[in-house]
């Protein structure tokens, strides 16, 4: 009975037999499979057990990939092979999933969070218990079947010297200790969150840090860290708590520093106001292609909040609030690292280059100042 049809039928039969049982370990599943198909080859039974466990335990076929510390992204592109990003390179894995398995994975991800994903609500962002970020998109938007993208975050802290030369790392560590306000910019997957964690390691251990994130990803090393996470609307479309509300609330929590995981919208204004009102040494990230582009994007995000301020006033506040922009990029070989450290200034150039990833080229004029 080695045909696919027989294996599929056996998987359904074994899974149905487990519905009323509280134990679903591998030995139990294997015993039920053997009782249902005593003449099946061992290889077929192993495959059946694997597929049944994929339906009943964790994220099933994705678990070995999530347990691999070298995997930073897991991508399910509908029925077929699963892809991963490993060491900066996207590769196809031997793991293959069918439509029913994907549907079970989606349900297992969103159900515990009280979320819903279906034809009327085909997009959802969620977080796994280990902190990994998950995006799910289903038909009709995903033409070839439901897609799952899991961005993993390793438990191992990356030292700042792993992203740049020692002299550049020393410059940044000094800036953080002396309470410079820093924005980390870069493209998707460039390593912004990883770098933000590395920079935060230079914050004095006793500082009270309040982090605000859309999905909790930061693992700051300090002893006095308060983590806040935004909440999406529930299945009925109510109960959402945006990042902007959390940034405003963080100001009432007596923070020494505020760390916003990523600014994407109108919360940029609240972040700048916090930096300008006694919360120096704050950190954040934003998507941008260069330090200058990061400043333009922040200006645009502030204007998205319909604050009614002229661009000149927004620009003055931005120059007053921000000290450094640290740009991180993915290199051609797939590795990630700092490509530029720029000081924010009010000249026509907007920024002054302080360092590349390999060397310091100028001394900061603002990062070490007394505010």
- Give residue-wise pLDDT tens across range 97-141: 888 889 888 888 887 777 778 888 898 888 787 778 899 999 999
Q: Mind listing the pLDDT tens digit for each residue in 43-58?
A: 888 888 877 776 666 6
Residue 258's pLDDT band (cuts 50, 70, 90): very high
Residues 173 and 125: their CA atoms lie apart, in Å, by 33
Q: Is the pLDDT of residue 370 over 50?
A: no
Q: Which of 201-205, 271-275, 328-332 has the highest mean pLDDT?
A: 201-205
H-helix or E-strand containing 313?
Answer: helix 311-321
Task: Name the token pair of 360.
Answer: 């310091």
**Local structure of 304: helix, strand or coil:** helix
DSSP 158-180: PPGGGTS-HHHHHHHHHHHHTT-
- Tokens describing residue 325: 């922009």
pLDDT of residue 338: 94
In terms of Cβ atoms closer than 10 Å to its own Cβ (0-12, 13-18, 19+), residue 236 is: exposed
User: Which pLDDT value is given to residue 329?
Assistant: 92
Closest CA to 193 of 259, 270, 274: 259
Local confidence band at 243 (pLDDT 50, 70, 90 cut-offs): confident
Q: Indicate whether 339 pLDDT > 60.
A: yes
pLDDT averaged over every residue in the chain: 85
Instruction: Kindly indicate the confidence band of residue 92, based on its pLDDT and cuts at 50, 70 and 90.
Output: very high
pTM to 2 decimal places: 0.75
> What is the tens place of the pLDDT at every residue in 6-44?
777 887 787 777 766 656 677 888 888 888 888 888 888
Task: Please tell me the distance from the alpha carbon of residue 139 to that of residue 225, in angstroms, as a whole number.
Answer: 40
Is the per-residue pLDDT at 283 higher than 50? yes
What is residue 168's predicted lDDT score, i.e. its pLDDT?
95
Q: Tokens 């308060």 sit at which residue?
A: 226
Q: Evaluate whether 215 touches 128 at the Cβ level (below 8 Å).
A: no
How distant is the alpha carbon of residue 163 from its chain centre?
A: 18
């Amino acid at each position: 009975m080695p045909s696919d049809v027989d294996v599929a039928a056996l998987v359904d039969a074994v899974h149905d037999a487990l519905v009323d049982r509280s134990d679903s370990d591998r030995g139990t599943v294997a015993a039920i499979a053997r009782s249902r198909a005593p003449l099946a080859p061992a290889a077929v039974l192993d495959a059946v057990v694997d597929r049944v466990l994929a339906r009943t335990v964790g994220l099933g076929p994705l678990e070995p990939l999530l347990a691999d510390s070298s995997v930073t992204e897991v991508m399910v592109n509908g029925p077929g092979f699963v892809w991963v990003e490993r060491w900066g390179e996207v590769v196809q894995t031997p793991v293959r999933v069918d439509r029913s398995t994907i549907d079970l994975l989606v349900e297992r991800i969103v159900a515990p969070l009280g979320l819903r994903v279906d034809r009327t609500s085909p997009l959802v962002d969620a977080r796994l218990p280990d902190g990994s970020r998950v995006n799910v998109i289903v038909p009709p938007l995903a033409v070839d079947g439901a897609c799952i993208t899991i961005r993993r975050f390793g438990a191992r802290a990356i030292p700042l010297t792993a992203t740049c030369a020692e002299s550049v790392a020393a410059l940044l560590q000094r800036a953080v200790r002396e309470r410079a306000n820093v924005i980390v910019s870069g493209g998707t997957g460039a390593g912004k969150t990883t770098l933000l964690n590395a920079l935060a390691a230079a914050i004095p251990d006793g500082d009270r840090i309040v982090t605000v994130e859309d999905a909790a990803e930061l693992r700051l090393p300090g002893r006095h860290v308060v983590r806040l996470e935004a909440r999406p609307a529930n299945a009925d479309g109510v109960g959402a708590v945006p990042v902007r509300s959390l940034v405003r609330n963080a100001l009432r929590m007596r923070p020494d520093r505020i760390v916003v995981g990523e600014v994407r919208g109108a919360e940029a204004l609240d972040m700048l106001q916090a930096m300008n009102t006694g919360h120096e040494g704050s950190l954040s990230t934003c998507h941008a292609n260069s330090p200058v582009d990061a400043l333009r994007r922040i200006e645009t995000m502030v204007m998205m909040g319909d604050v009614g301020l002229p661009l000149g006033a927004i620009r003055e506040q931005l120059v007053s609030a921000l000290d450094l922009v640290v740009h991180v990029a993915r290199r051609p070989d797939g590795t990630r690292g700092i490509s530029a450290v720029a000081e924010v200034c009010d000249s026509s150039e907007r920024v002054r280059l302080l360092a590349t990833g390999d060397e310091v080229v100028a001394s900061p004029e603002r990062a070490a100042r007394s505010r």
